Amino acid sequence: MRKYVSLIFIALLSSVVTLAGYRYINQNNTKPIKPVFKSVETKDTTPSFLHNANYTAANNNYKDYMPDFKSVVKKTKNAVVHVRNTRYVQQYQPYYFGYREGPVYKQEGTGSGVIISPDGYIVTNNHVIKNASELEVTLENKKTYKAELIGTDPNSDIAVLKINANHLPFITFGDSDAVELGQWVLAIGNPYNLGTTVTSGIVSAKGRDLKGNKRIDNFIQTDAVVNPGNSGGALVDTNGQLIGINTMIFSMNGSYIGYSFAIPSNIVRKIADDILEFGSIQKGVLGIKAAELNGEVAKKLGINQTEGVYIYDIEKNTGADQSGLQVGDIIIKINNVKVATMADLLGYLKTKRPGDKIEVTILRNDKMRTFKVKLNKNNAAYLKSLGLSVKNVNKTILKHYGVKNGVYIDRITNRLLYQNGIKPGYLITRINGQPIYSVDDITGLLNAMNQKQYTIEIVSPDGHSEKYIFQ
């Protein structure tokens, strides 16, 4: 037993001596390693409107880029106004075989508008001023003016107002065709009558066709917060230029849930110019009947192209007919602007006038070709909902009827309307109080109407004015 204890003691003593020797040798032969830091020079590519919070290794702050729109807001907010619409609604009540006048009710609505010139011209939405008896505009400095309605385009939901003032702040138009997905935008308006309100977001999509009717819907979609009262307000870029007029939201409850839509500025500018220069909208017609391509349509047509507009008919004696376009051509560009949908095509044509020449790039037999097409004027239309064919008339004919505006009733297929006194040779001058200057006005208005009862004002060849109420 004593022998084993002695062996264990010797083994422990040897271990202690070996460990002590190792530590002594290691301390005398090992040098400490000092950390080496290298500075890396980087180039700051931050956009000028972003604020840079510096990062240093010493305090461990993170580099953080935050949008700073103060200069843009200062540049634009004073040019966005509050619009008040006061209307007096005449109720009509059934009376034997017709209607008689009932009580008059006062209604008020509010929205926003954008000053586009220093002498008081303002653009807003048509639905903001629709059926107005009185219009009032309040500036950012709280000054209030009576406003005159200069003209409207119900089809595009745009109206132009005028106030008697000068040297006003205004917003210049930007190029909405150059807008890109993901870029920052500001929505400026007057929601809930709170005064000027600014929200920010990005461009989520372009060329949105909300109603699916391939008519004129070509909206810019953003995620900037827009609520009731923002209608008619400005959508501006980071340079403070107007790229759209805020018009509507997509919502299940009437308030903002993430989708806002604006009419592109190129369309707004053209409509405003038409109203101020001609008094009505000058619509350029390409002269084709076409369908939007997608995977399903392409499969039925036996083609590989799934984007663009497929021409299935060409109207005789139009610019498209005379240029050399053919049935089966696929439009992919206009003036080098991509055309992927009907909304792209109609939205771009909305910026052009009769007589304008455009370059149409098409695919034909898998080869691209470009044609120059002169746009025509739309002079006639068939109003299916009314059973009427109408035509534009010149100023000489209007003078003969003793009116300043109207469209000529050329043919009637609705027997009820004929029996109620509307005949070929009459002029339609107003529908629901809205003046009618051209066939485009009347088709746009009827397309925009969602009510069952409407009033048509007509003038007979002898200048006699009549009003009819239909339900």
Give the residue numbers annotated as catalytic, written as ranges.
127, 157, 231
Query: Reduced to 3 states, what is the DSSP secondary structure of residue 14?
Result: helix
Core vs surface per residue 85-120: b (16+ CB within 10 A) or e = bebeeeeeeeeeeeeeeeeeeeeebbbbbbbbbeeb
Can you spell out the DSSP letters for 282-348?
--EE--EEEEE--HHHHHHHT-S--SSEEEEEE-TTSHHHHHT--TT-EEEEETTEE--SHHHHHHH
Q: Which of 441, 435, 431 is nearest to 470 (CA)?
A: 431
Encoded tokens for 168: 């006003």
How far apart are the C-alpha atoms of 51 and 66, rounded to whole Å?
5
Cβ neighbours of residue 80 closer than 8 Å, sequence gap 6 or more: 112, 113, 114, 115, 140, 171, 188, 189, 190, 196, 233, 234
207 vs 210: CA distance, rounded Å: 9
Show Cβ contacts of residue 463 under 8 Å, excluding neighbours closer than 6 positions: 401, 402
The span from the CA of 370 to the CA of 360, in Å, is 5
Q: Can you give the C-alpha Rg of the chain in angstroms?
A: 34
User: What's the rounded Cα separation, in Å, for the pair 125 and 153?
Assistant: 9
The token duo for 158 is 């745009």
379 burial via Cβ count (<10 Å: 0-12, 13-18, 19+): middle
Q: Is 214 helix (H, G, I), strand (E, B) or coil?
A: coil
Q: CA dihedral defined by 426, 432, 436, 438, rounded to 10 degrees?
A: -90
Residue carrying structure tokens 């066939």: 439
Is 218 exposed, middle or buried (CB count within 10 Å of its CB: 0-12, 13-18, 19+)?
buried
